[in-house]
Amino acid sequence: MTENHELLAKGIDFCPFCDRISLTLPKVSHLDTKTQICSLCGHTESMLEFKYLFDANTKKKLRERLAIVNSELKRVEYKSSHKSRYLKLIKSLMISNLKQLDV
């Protein structure tokens, strides 16, 4: 049993995005609209979406930011973690945006 599972068994919440202990998990992840995450990670998801999806309106910006997302994905320790799945979603949406700019 991992440390986080032991904490959950004791009734202590941890955020699946940042893996930190949290008193409450008041936000719902944009990834699946049901996973509860801490407030800081809720803000992080919103800011990532704005920066990487809505504020990248040129091919150059999108490619630069896609490289950042790819490097962050390589650094994620657990490939099946919430953070990894979220970054993969952002990456797929960015690739879709790039394809639309090519049209």
Instruction: Name 29's Cβ contacts closer than 8 Å, sequence gap at least 6.
Output: 16, 17, 35, 36, 37, 41, 42, 45, 82, 86
For residue 1, the model assigns a pLDDT of 38
Domain count, the chain: 1
Q: What is the mean pLDDT of the chain?
A: 82
Q: Are 79 and 97 in contact (CB under 8 A)?
A: no
Q: How does residue 85 score in pLDDT terms, banded at 50, 70 and 90?
A: confident
Name the amino acid, one letter, at 78: Y
Whether pTM > 0.85 for this model: the answer is: no
Give the Cβ contact number of residue 62 at 10 Å.
18
For residue 49, the model assigns a pLDDT of 86
Residue 60 is part of which domain span?
3-102
**CA dist., res. 54 & res. 97, Å (int):** 10
Question: pLDDT of 22-46, one tens digit each?
Answer: 877 888 998 888 888 988 899 988 8
Give percent of the chain with pLDDT exceeding 90: 7
